[in-house]
Structure 1
Amino acid sequence: MQTQTPITVTNSRYRLGDHLMAKAGWINDPNGFCYFKGYYHVFYQHYPYGAEWGPMHWGHARSRDLVHWETLPIALTPGDPEDQDGCFSGSAIVKDDCLYLLYTGHHYYGDNDPDHFWQNQNMAYSTDGVHFTKYAQNPVIAQAPADNTQHFRDPKVWQHGDAYYMILGSQGQDQLGRVILYRSSDLKHWTYLGPIAQATNLQTEGYMWECPDLFELDGQTVLLTSPQGIQAEAKRFLNLNQTGYFIGELDYQQPQLVDRGAFSELDHGHDFYASQTTLTPDGRRIVIGWMAMWESVMPEQADGWAGALTFPRELTRVGKQLRMKPARELTALRTQTLTDTTVTLEATPQRFQPTHRQAEFKGQLDLTTTPAVVTLAVRAGAVNVTLTYDQARGELTLRRSDRSDARYAQVSGQPTALTFDLWLDTSSLEVFLNDGAVTFTERFYPQSQPHFELQSDQALSGHVQLFDLTQQAVTY
């Protein structure tokens, strides 16, 4: 068991005000996103003894409103026989007024080779949602099935009818990524049913599908996952690992995800990975992700911490496309309306100045005249993020001053308006366009107070709003 002293934050220059972070140390994937006894709960992969990835714990926070978060004690600590080298990602489910966590135990073989490992699946439980006990008979699944490699992790559990089902991210013996399915009557004893979806090509669908999530949305089955090993394709799949989705129909009898469409990216930015969803009491599907990426430079590591989670987002479906919008509860973060006005855009940038480093800038631009090239920017001296929409090409391009690699997205159809909603929080920017049809998530690191700019190469009319946001919605 760990005997070190937890790391502390030495400089708050990049600390976020309104996003979930750990008190200090490293975090990555959100885990166990759920609603239990009046609170939303989010757990996350956490290393409290350093600002780099280490033996994974489960950090924990809860909220009554998806806006104001209270940090709770660490829920899971590695070091027991079932999770000797890490409590890896997993999910939560409520059963008989008890909150159960299902998670992956990580184990190294002891030869100092980080790729020489094995994994199993374990359970912990709580009656109060704060203090957790590991199940005495762990592991609940002791080893990967015979048709699998050692990649066997990240359980997502749900109930369907009288049975419980679990999917896991995995890799078949053919070295291709896939998602496999188990069934149980009690969460303790599990029967392997086989793969429900698998990659057909290494280059286009990857060698391992991490962090799977499966749910129904407007009559269709959505499989979210984060494939590793997809090769970049022109202006798509440009991150080291991707997060995206398939839409089809889960046939529980085969079992198989049938009629699934192509893999689509969920977010087009540099810093979005390992998403997980939950259902609100009023029936909305909410998603949250890790606001970073493995290859991203993280300057905050010098200050004793690294990583954050995105704002909660509402998921909707239009045909075979998912849309993400900021959860409606987030409007409670607004503290002051700074701008609410009609604008006419020209080639000279118009500047909009928030008071703090937490702000929301949103608007709608009329695109019914001559095709235009519109540029949205967040600037703080030499540090900037610029988003360009080329209406004639239907293409969005995002560039950052601290990176040479741009990110891209296509706007489908010929929209008559461009809507935008940008959320700034110290060292993060989340961009939602055209009612959530396109999103970009970014970490960037301004040294001074940023401002927004808006311009167009053609005269455009529109309406914009600028809000200051609360500077601290998370308590530790």
Structure 2
Amino acid sequence: MVLGNSFNNSTLGCVLLYTSKDKISWNQVSIIDESDGFLGYMWECPDFFELNGHFFLLFSPQGVKPKGDKYKNLYQTGYIVGDFDYSTNSFKLLRGFQELDYGHDFYATQTILDDMGRRIVIAWMDMWDQNYPEQRDGFNGQMTIPRELSLTRSGRIIQKPVKEIKGVHGKIIHFGKSNGGTSVLLNNNAAEVIIIASKSSDLEVFVESRNSTKTVNIKYDSRNGKVSLDRGGNDGLRRTEWRPKNILKMKIYVDASSIEVFCGKGEVTMSSRFFPDGPVQVRLGDESQAKLLQVIDLHQSVLINNNNLN
């Protein structure tokens, strides 16, 4: 059992490891890792798992100070990589803290190992101390799309939506090469959007209320090798480094009050809430060109059967 904790009069965070023979009586056997001050005063929601021969400690540190485009949320979620020795219960750090998602609303991740051997992560898609309008309806936040984890050659985590998402695909409402200014009105404000474009040109995508009162701007800056999501208002911009390898590909999931962006093979993701007024459309920036713009309806499904995915 891994347990989030704080020490040094609650000024530093850490994760403790406990073992038990009966799952009733537990003994602390080691400290997996602890903050040196940079990673804040509390490590929440720890998850410790093996992936491709290395061990990952995934957790949500509180109290990390912003640094340029990094760590701009109130609290963060990310991971460290190392090796674990079962005989000594010791963890050897190999790689320092890496944010898992670069949007506004991504916290308290947990993973499962499913029957097919996939490591699946789900996060709380919200952030502490946000005054979102949904609270008037008696709820706070939602869960992200389940994402399958894998690794790059350099050992960084890649996230991609689980294949079962195909079970909520509806009809294709737009498909083909698209010029700047192309707009597609969504049905029920929910869609899967796939964009393929040149990696050497800038790209802008707007997810917006049709009356333009609420807009999210997703942009790829080819010169500086950065991707950003800007939902406007105070603290609306999130940005990180990303350079597509061969061709620019984005997959964007839009729902009634959320956007989840997957860049490339999932090496960068951005998850943010937004609250549009009325019908929502997806629009290419006037100077943007897409080799492919595909928009697929998403609909509610009571049951997703794997047999229907073939």
* TM-score, normalisation: structure 1: 0.60
Listed as ranges, the gaps of 5+ residues in structure 1 are 1-165
Query: How many angstroms does 1:405 deviate by?
Result: 3.3
Paired with 1:177 and 1:464, the residues of 2 have a C-alpha distance of: 45
Aligned residue among 452, 455, 458 for 2:285: 455
Q: Is the CA contact 1:181–1:195 (under 8 Å) kept in the aligned structure 2?
A: yes
Report the 3-state secondary structure (helix = DSSP H, G, I; strand = E; otherwise coil) of the residue aligned with 1:305.
coil
Paired with 1:354 and 1:457, the residues of 2 have a C-alpha distance of: 22
Report the 3-state secondary structure (helix = DSSP H, G, I; strand = E; otherwise coil) of the residue aligned with 1:387.
strand
Q: Does 1:186 align with 2:22?
A: yes
Q: Is the CA contact 2:6–2:13 (under 8 Å) kept in the aligned structure 1?
A: yes
Q: Does 1:176 align with 2:8?
A: no
Paired with 1:400 and 1:297, the residues of 2 have a C-alpha distance of: 15
Deviations 1:373-415 (A, max 9, x none): 2111101021011111101111112111344431111115x52
Report the 3-state secondary structure (helix = DSSP H, G, I; strand = E; otherwise coil) of the residue aligned with 1:447.
coil
Query: How many angstroms does 1:424 deviate by?
Result: 1.1
Cα distance change of structure 1 residues 309 and 182 upon mapping to structure 2, 3 Å threshold: same
Within 5 A, what are the aligned runs for 1:194-233?
194-200=30-36, 202=37, 204-233=38-67
Q: Is the CA contact 2:45–2:60 (under 8 Å) kept in the aligned structure 1?
A: yes
Cα distance change of structure 1 residues 457 and 335 upon mapping to structure 2, 3 Å threshold: closer
Aligned position for 2:307: none
Query: How many angstroms does 1:366 deviate by?
Result: 2.5
The number of residues matched between the two structures is 299
Q: Is the CA contact 2:195–2:290 (under 8 Å) kept in the aligned structure 1?
A: no
Query: How many angstroms does 1:239 deviate by?
Result: 0.5
Report the 3-state secondary structure (helix = DSSP H, G, I; strand = E; otherwise coil) of the residue aligned with 2:253.
strand
Deviations 1:134-170 (A, max 9, x none): xxxxxxxxxxxxxxxxxxxxxxxxxxxxxxxx11001
Aligned residue among 151, 158, 166 for 1:317: 151
Q: Is the CA contact 1:358–1:426 (under 8 Å) kept in the aligned structure 2?
A: yes
Q: Is the CA contact 1:247–1:261 (under 8 Å) kept in the aligned structure 2?
A: yes
Q: Does 1:340 align with 2:169?
A: no
Paired with 1:404 and 1:205, the residues of 2 have a C-alpha distance of: 22
Q: Does 1:326 align with 2:158?
A: no
Aligned position for 2:137: 303
Aligned position for 1:398: 229
Q: Is the CA contact 1:167–1:182 (under 8 Å) kept in the aligned structure 2?
A: yes
The structure whose Rg is larger is 1
Aligned position for 1:423: 253
Query: How many angstroms does 1:300 deviate by?
Result: 0.9
Report the 3-state secondary structure (helix = DSSP H, G, I; strand = E; otherwise coil) of the residue aligned with 1:392.
coil
Query: How many angstroms does 1:472 deviate by?
Result: 5.6
Aligned position for 1:388: 219
Quick check: 402-411 or 429-438, which moved more? 402-411
Q: Is the CA contact 1:205–1:230 (under 8 Å) kept in the aligned structure 2?
A: yes
Question: Which amino acid in 1 is paired with 2:201?
Answer: A
Aligned residue among 297, 300, 304 for 1:468: 297
Question: Which amino acid in 2 is paired with 1:224?
Answer: L
Q: Is the CA contact 1:171–1:177 (under 8 Å) kept in the aligned structure 2?
A: yes
Aligned position for 1:89: none
Cα distance change of structure 1 residues 176 and 260 upon mapping to structure 2, 3 Å threshold: farther
Paired with 1:441 and 1:249, the residues of 2 have a C-alpha distance of: 29
Q: Is the CA contact 1:230–1:237 (under 8 Å) kept in the aligned structure 2?
A: yes
Query: How many angstroms does 1:431 deviate by?
Result: 0.9
Deviations 1:304-353 (A, max 9, x none): 2222111111111112211111111001111111122123x4xx422122
Higher relative contact order (Cα pairs below 8 Å, separated by 6+ residues): 2
* TM-score, normalisation: structure 2: 0.91
Deviations 1:23-76 (A, max 9, x none): xxxxxxxxxxxxxxxxxxxxxxxxxxxxxxxxxxxxxxxxxxxxxxxxxxxxxx
Paired with 1:411 and 1:199, the residues of 2 have a C-alpha distance of: 28
Q: Is the CA contact 1:197–1:256 (under 8 Å) kept in the aligned structure 2?
A: no
Within 5 A, what are the aligned runs for 1:122-161?
none
Paired with 1:332 and 1:178, the residues of 2 have a C-alpha distance of: 40
Aligned position for 2:272: 442
Paired with 2:286 and 2:265, the residues of 1 have a C-alpha distance of: 21
Paired with 2:206 and 2:245, the residues of 1 have a C-alpha distance of: 21
Paired with 1:351 and 1:305, the residues of 2 have a C-alpha distance of: 32
